[in-house]
Copies of this chain bind each other. A is one copy, B any other.
Amino acid sequence: MKTKATFYHAGCAVCVAAEHSVVNALDPTRYTVELVHLGTDKSRVKEAEAAGVKSLPALVMNGVPFHINFGASIDAVK
């Protein structure tokens, strides 16, 4: 069974760069990646915050948030 990884972003340039380089480099045989644009899907903000996401972009794997560079504070998409 694949592990789920969730990439929360805000559509920003920093977010796109992280998606194209890091997220797209994940092993597709082991990981299923869900891309969540919090700027357009604000209903998921609460879930991201519960996972510990403080800024975007962030990749949540096994419940742990990995903030990749800094594009925007999560407060900016509320």
A interface with B by C-beta (< 8 Å): 3, 5, 17-18, 21-22, 25-31, 59, 61-62, 64-70
A29 (CB) vs chain B CBs: closest residue: B27
Cα A29 to Cα B3 in complex, Å, equals 18
Cα A29 to Cα B28 in complex, Å, equals 10
Say how many copies of this protein the assembly contains. 2
Cα A35 to Cα B64 in complex, Å, equals 21
- The A contact surface, by secondary structure, is strand
B59 and A22 contacting across the interface, CB-CB below 8 Å: yes
Cβ-closest 8 pairs across A and B: A27-B27, A21-B61, A25-B26, A66-B68, A22-B66, A67-B69, A68-B68, A25-B31
A-B contact pairs, 10 of them (CB 8 A): A18-B66, A21-B64, A25-B26, A25-B30, A25-B61, A27-B27, A27-B28, A66-B69, A67-B68, A67-B70
